[in-house]
């Protein structure tokens, strides 16, 4: 699965990465570690509300 780091994160910053499917999240400090399964629709709503 491919993951993408936030465009707002610096090149050396640690952050949450989101899978291209929008169904899994992981810690960028530990890419081989556990992931969190997410509901894609709920994740989109959350991100949009956090941008306000």
Residue-wise pLDDT for 17-41, tens only, equals 989 998 999 998 888 999 999 998 9
pLDDT at 9 over 90: no
pLDDT, residue 37, reads 95
**Alpha carbon of 51 to those of 1, 22, 24: distances in Å?**
26, 17, 20
In the Cβ-directed half-sphere of 27, how many Cα atoms lie within 13 Å? Answer: 5
With cut-offs at 50, 70 and 90, classify the pLDDT of residue 12: low
pLDDT, residue 23, reads 92
């Amino acid at each position: 699965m491919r993951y993408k780091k936030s465009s707002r994160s610096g090149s050396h910053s640690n952050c949450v990465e989101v899978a291209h499917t929008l169904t899994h999240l992981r810690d960028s400090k530990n890419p081989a570690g556990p992931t969190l399964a997410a509901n894609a629709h709920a994740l989109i709503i959350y991100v949009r509300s956090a941008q306000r």
